[in-house]
Amino acid sequence: MPPSVAATPSHDQPLIDRFGRRIDYLRLSVTDRCDLRCSYCLPRGFDGYAEPEHWLTFDEIERVVGLFAKLGVRRVRLTGGEPLLRRNLPLLAGRLAALPGLTDLSLSTNATQLARHADALHAAGVRRLNISLDSLKRDCVTQLSGRDSLPAVLDGLAAADAAGFAPIKLNMVALKGVNEDEIDAMAAFCIERGYILRLIETMPMGDTGRNAQYLDLGPVREQLVQRFGLVPQAQELGGGPARYWQTADGRGQIGFITPISQHFCASCNRVRLSVEGTLYLCLGNEDKLELRPLLRGGASDADLIAALRGAIELKPERHEFVTQPGKVVRFMSMTGG
């Protein structure tokens, strides 16, 4: 067989990058809009959102995700912005959940709209939730998010419990001098209620990320290990970048997402698709593939698969948040969480 033919992967071969990492996780942004203005994510007064006519339609999203599933992607997380601001999101979730090959459909949300949508999302096939909650103090949440949103978030959490989501993870961005004194209380809150706490270091994405009060989670982890008697947990929980520890009785889990102090690039298994159809290969780099022109220009499935495989070849070995903190100018909401 000629070398050029032998080197061409068949359509059903999995996505494996130049560094041997298998890509089986897609984070799918369904909107770049958000009803909060968290200080580390979006600047107050920001209005540079994508035009709705540039958003991928549900049909386009289903087509792309279906092709990813054929290429071995098994996990899809719906993100934003705030994904629950996308009209008829449960309808899209149901369409994606029905795609052959997908085994895990989850959602990241700030939970301000969750009380109204929890039952419909669960019925559609979403099973796991990541909920952003940086503080249990109402004034601190207002300061960080630009809105008195804590009551709505707690209502959303109650609705998620009632609907049967499991597991529910609470994402807490740890900020030096802002909420670091609440980490113990947040851990106790989660352990008592059966939630999984994930502590996250800020990333230098856009001016907001670079100006955030970075907190090294290494010392924080050691304090929590002592405070709650944590032991390392080998079980993988959701395919993401967190390294988990658990209480000795197994009742509580705490994950640490440390892109700065202890990066996890060697095991990166994910790519991100923006609402406009831009496929980002790495949060900390600008390598990307514009899919919308292909989708609206008559590309065949074979064309799209070839483009996806070519894009995966651009995935870098690691991010450059430490060596080039000013490199990424886009805000997190523009990429998808």
What average pLDDT does range 277-289 have in this prediction? 89
CATH of 3-335, one of 3.30.70.2080, 3.90.1150.10, 3.30.360.10, 3.20.20.70: 3.20.20.70
Name the nearest CA neighbour of 128 among 152, 103, 157, 104.
Answer: 104
Three-state secondary structure call for residue 315: coil
Tell me the two tokens of residue 252: 């509580």
Read off φ and ψ for residue 85, nearest 5 degrees. -85, -10
Lowest mean pLDDT among 84-98, 182-196, 222-236: 222-236
Lowest mean pLDDT among 30-34, 94-98, 108-112, 325-329: 325-329
Q: In terms of pTM, does the model score above 0.95?
A: no
State the Cα–Cα distance between residues 333 and 114, nearest whole angstrom.
19
pLDDT band at 298 (very low <50, low <70, confident <90, very high): very high
The full 3-state SS of 73-87, as one line of letters, equals CCEEEEECCCHHHCC
pLDDT band at 233 (very low <50, low <70, confident <90, very high): confident
Tell me the two tokens of residue 39: 């200080």
H helices of the chain, in order, are 3-6, 58-70, 89-97, 114-124, 138-145, 150-163, 183-193, 206-211, 217-228, 292-295, 301-312, 332-335
Number of Cβ within 10 Å of residue 306's Cβ equals: 16
pLDDT for 56 equals 98
Lowest mean pLDDT among 48-57, 110-119, 206-215: 206-215
At CB < 8 A and 24+ separation, what contacts does 163-168 make?
A: 163/118, 163/119, 163/121, 163/122, 164/122, 165/118, 165/122, 165/126, 165/127, 165/128, 165/129, 166/127, 166/128, 167/128, 167/195, 167/196, 167/237, 167/238, 168/128, 168/129, 168/131, 168/194, 168/195, 168/196
DSSP H or E run through 278: strand 278-280
Name the nearest CA neighbour of 91 among 114, 128, 62, 68.
Answer: 62
- Alpha carbon 100 to its chain centroid, in Å, reads 22
Tell me the two tokens of residue 160: 């998620």
Tell me the two tokens of residue 20: 């041997």
pLDDT for 39 equals 84
